[in-house]
Structure 1
Amino acid sequence: MNMDRQIRRLGLALAACFTVLAAQLGYIQLIAADRLNSRPDNTRQQQRNFNRPRGQIVAADGTVLAFSVENSSGFKYSRVYPETDLFGPITGFYSFTLGASGVERTYDEDLAGAIPELDLANLSDLFVDRENTGNVHLTLHPEVQQAARDALGEREGSVVALDPRTGAIDAMWSFPTFDPNPLSTNDAAATSLKEQLDADPENPLLFRAYREIFFPGSTFKVVTASTAVETGQVTVDNPDYPPTSSFDIDFTERDLRNFGGGTCGGTLYDLLRVSCNTGFAQMGTDLGPSAAVAGAEAYGFNDRPPIDLPAPAASVFPTEFPDDQGNGPLARASIGQGDVSSTPLQMALVTGAIANGGAVMTPHVMDRVTDDEGDVVKRFDVEEWRRATSPETAGVVRRGMLDVVTGPRGTARNLAIDGVEVGGKTGTAQLGTDPPRSHAWIIGFAGPPGQAAEVAVAVIVEGQPGASEQTGGTVAAPIARAVIEAVLRVRGGG
């Protein structure tokens, strides 16, 4: 009897062990498999990934930007980027030793065919020897990207063009840049090149367009104007700021001045047209810190934009203005100087919101994902990221930006295009006086007369000699105009 009892106990214990093992096995296979496979230290899974094909990355016009090829040695597959550095920072690279960047990283599972939508779309492939992969179709147009590249040339800077109605990126270009092909060879040469690029003081691997912040200069006056109108402090006709050449800064004899020591004043549109520093400094300090911070953050400052690319930088507007520092920090921040900094992408979102009735749309580079048969399995959900301001306020500022392009003494006259409604705002961010250098900025929007704007742009050309309010209009405006014209061509409007 005792022996039978012990055997039964042993049997129950073994059954319990098998139950636990079965449950654990089921958990690993059914629940934890995806998480374990995607762990960066899972080299076995990574090796499998490089021995199977990967989907294509495709531009808006069907141009293939990335695809897999079979190798004669080493890993079975590697990636090829036929457009080389034109889309390098967008597609990114894909390497066993270096990891992935750009779209290759963000949409890794889609390209590898490891998303449920592809499994459901290709159930028949379970019974045949065929790999499921996803093709990622982008919103970017090669013609517009090339226009941005050609217009900027080999000057350090960035260009962003997007559809203000949807947030879809039409072009995003920075110089210097890089070719992803030699970084995707999975050999010692790729590692050596990566080390060289990391050590390069010009930092070509850093995609300046959305990962680097700069003083926005007078382009930020659009945000100050919008906030002042939204709060009711400013209307089209009031106040009428008295003409002056300087704004008194507390606790210092160095007053804030207009470029060239000029005198300016007047109503909102007068200030915008000539980019009047003294008027906007008064406007910003009249707003006060709380309203100024809220206005900037409504456009997305102090937050990372939700673009579908890795590691976007947050643009910065100071949140503290201590009383013992007087009015200087807020006055300078109101004209895009001091502690204000922005990515080119953020400034494109600002002008896009003005053109889009105050709505900041979620920026994105992915339009859709298709399976091997060309069927769409996923689309980007267009949505509003922020409500920056009311449609009425956006309309007021929009008219002011149109006047900056078409009005007398407007600083953005070089942005004008025949038969197209164009608004803009120039900016010059001073970097020093020995020798004088500045970032040349312009932001703008354009579309058919009397209709919704079809494109919003931001351009920065870094470290230009001199420091004049005209720098943005003479240096950056022709670049923006070339990109706008390219966008309108691909949209069929120009």
Structure 2
Amino acid sequence: MNKPLRRVSVFCLAMILVLMGWATWIQGAKASDYDDDPHNPRVAIAKYSAPLGNILVGGQPVTGSAATNANLKYKRTYKDGPLYAPVTGFSSQIFGSTQLESLYSDLLGGTDSRLQTPADSLLHERPKGGDVATTIDPKVQKAGYDALGGKTGAAIALDPATGRILGMVSTPSYDPGKFAGSGTADQKAWQAMSQDSRQPNLNRALRQPLPPGSTFKLVVAAAALENGLYSSVDQPTDSPDPYTLPNTSTKLTNESTSAPCENATIRTALQYSCNTVFAKMAVDLGKDKVRAQAEKFGFNDGKLDVPVRATKSVYPSDMDQAQTALSGIGQFDDQATPLQMAMVASAIADGGDLKTPQLVDELTDGGGNTVQKNSPRTYRKAMSAQTAAQLRSAMQTVVDKGTGSNAQIGGLTVGGKTGTAQHGVNNSGTPYAWFVSYADDGKGHRVAVAVMVEDGHAARNEVSGNGLAAPIAKAMMQAALT
């Protein structure tokens, strides 16, 4: 063989080897990437070739599947879609999936390896999709949704003893069934939702951190008791009224000039929501001690999964003393989700023990057999039992005699804390209304609730945690315990 021909032969052989290697790499190492690529039409065709498993609330499915006449043989359907959208998320033939629909897509679609039986493997058949049983109590969910009504906001209810999420509401909401298919109507519905300035697809309960306002005073009070700054909620504090912010000439005042805030006890300061008391208390403790206490409740945790990932709630670290004072009343750069504030109330209600919030109770296969059962898990010990008991007592005073009177429920012991958080340039925006609470039926059953109303369509001077948020919490607590 002459030299030029030999070179061509070697080159061709090399090209063949490269091609074979490339094909092997594509079919082997990259196969899973292509299988998981949402732009691969075969993925959607396979997923929607059979009915999906369901997401259950109270043991009943709130999802379903409907036959179509297209290549994608089945599409997702939803029962009471807007009510449960913050729980389920959506599964769309065009636009993918979110929340539980996304996290458990393999189980719901039958491709989870835990569903495989020997017969399935032998016959190369995909098992029937499994089900996801949530912790949601339908009565609590509907009570929160109805009470929020046309307001923009969120509410979440926890069982303090287990961490089970009993209700998780976000409004305005959306109907995931309207864009579950691939038709023109589905595309128009998706476009309308995506362009809605109210962001109906935002899960405000988990992913809308806002200034918590005076509800954060519970965290500061816990820090003061845990660190020995004060020994009791009934010990007078060292608190001038008004309070001059450190190293400034700015005087911090209270909402009511007649409130007995000067040197008030923690109980009285919570009852009247005294800014001066908790601002100075935060400075006296120092930002590091307040932050340490906040983090015991879950602040600054960027990996809180319920199992849906919650947005991190923030207690800042880089502050001077004046900023620390403002952080003590839930302002400056404090940010909290309703989930986070429900965790604060939950820890107080459960004697200082904070359970990890969880939205999913059980996973089952297509035959109803348990694949995974979730048990309660301790998140952290947030405070001592003594501190928790004192804060429960002080929160009861807020509801019985103070700013949280709209949360009173006959036959139940109720404790709460109101909050009105300012925002906007020079606090020009409509304040956010907060209410965090717990209720106890005296028979071993408790519930913790946090409500945030972002826009209640009320005049600025009429916005209050007691007026807008407390009735929503009351409705959810009643549904859970009565």
Normalised by the length of structure 2, the TM-score is 0.88
Letter in 1 for 2:243: F
CA distance in 1, matches of 2:234, 2:85: 49
1:487 equivalent in structure 2: 480
CA distance in 2, matches of 1:185, 1:116: 27
| 1:314 to partner: Cα distance | 0.8
| 1:307 to partner: Cα distance | 2.9
Q: Find the partner of 2:376 among 362, 382, 386.
A: 382
2:86 equivalent in structure 1: 89
1:14 equivalent in structure 2: none
CA distance in 1, matches of 2:200, 2:434: 21
Matches within 5 A, 1:4-403: 28=28, 37-60=35-58, 62-119=59-116, 122-126=117-121, 131-236=127-232, 239-241=235-237, 244-263=240-259, 264=261, 265-304=263-302, 306-322=304-320, 327-403=321-397
1:476 equivalent in structure 2: 469
CA distance in 1, matches of 2:478, 2:234: 36
Q: Which moved more, 1:433-442 or 1:97-106?
A: 433-442
2:430 equivalent in structure 1: 437
Q: Is the 8 A contact 2:234 2:267 kept in 1?
A: no
Q: Is the 8 A contact 2:94 2:181 kept in 1?
A: no
Label 1:437 to 1:45 Cα distance change in 2 as closer, same or farther (>3 A).
Answer: closer
1:3 equivalent in structure 2: none
Q: Is the 8 A contact 1:344 1:460 kept in 2?
A: yes
2:409 is aligned with 1:417: yes
1:448 equivalent in structure 2: 441
Q: Is the 8 A contact 1:428 1:467 kept in 2?
A: no
* Percent of residue pairs bearing the same amino acid type: 36
| 1:252 to partner: Cα distance | 3.9
Normalised by the length of structure 1, the TM-score is 0.86
| 1:453 to partner: Cα distance | 4.9
Label 1:386 to 1:114 Cα distance change in 2 as closer, same or farther (>3 A).
Answer: farther
2:11 equivalent in structure 1: none
Letter in 1 for 2:357: P
Q: Is the 8 A contact 1:223 1:295 kept in 2?
A: yes
Q: Secondary structure at the match of 1:424?
A: strand
CA distance in 1, matches of 2:376, 2:427: 47
| 1:261 to partner: Cα distance | 3.0
Q: Which moved more, 1:435-444 or 1:459-468?
A: 459-468
| 1:199 to partner: Cα distance | 2.0
Structure 2's unaligned 5+ residue stretches are: 1-16
Q: CA RMSD in A?
A: 3.0
Q: Secondary structure at the match of 2:422?
A: strand
| 1:360 to partner: Cα distance | 2.3
CA distance in 2, matches of 1:436, 1:208: 19
1:6 equivalent in structure 2: none
Q: Secondary structure at the match of 2:161?
A: coil
| 1:192 to partner: Cα distance | 3.3
| 1:368 to partner: Cα distance | 0.6
CA distance in 1, matches of 2:339, 2:207: 9
Q: Is the 8 A contact 2:395 2:416 kept in 1?
A: yes
Q: Which moved more, 1:246-255 or 1:203-212?
A: 246-255
Letter in 1 for 2:437: G
CA distance in 2, matches of 1:402, 1:32: 60
CA distance in 2, matches of 1:418, 1:194: 44
Q: Which moved more, 1:273-282 or 1:188-197?
A: 188-197
| 1:353 to partner: Cα distance | 1.0
The superposition leaves residues 212-270 of structure 1 with CA deviations (integer Å, 9 ceiling, x where unpaired) of 11111110001001111111112116751256431101354331110033441422212
Structure 1's unaligned 5+ residue stretches are: 1-16, 489-493
1:461 equivalent in structure 2: 453
How many residues are paired up?
A: 463
1:426 equivalent in structure 2: 418
Label 1:436 to 1:117 Cα distance change in 2 as closer, same or farther (>3 A).
Answer: closer
| 1:396 to partner: Cα distance | 2.2
Q: Is the 8 A contact 1:141 1:171 kept in 2?
A: yes
Label 1:434 to 1:127 Cα distance change in 2 as closer, same or farther (>3 A).
Answer: closer
Q: Secondary structure at the match of 2:289?
A: helix
Q: Secondary structure at the match of 1:428?
A: strand
Q: Is the 8 A contact 1:355 1:453 kept in 2?
A: no
Q: Is the 8 A contact 1:164 1:361 kept in 2?
A: yes
| 1:478 to partner: Cα distance | 1.3
Label 1:342 to 1:195 Cα distance change in 2 as closer, same or farther (>3 A).
Answer: same
Q: Secondary structure at the match of 1:306?
A: coil
CA distance in 1, matches of 2:143, 2:193: 25
Q: Is the 8 A contact 2:418 2:466 kept in 1?
A: yes
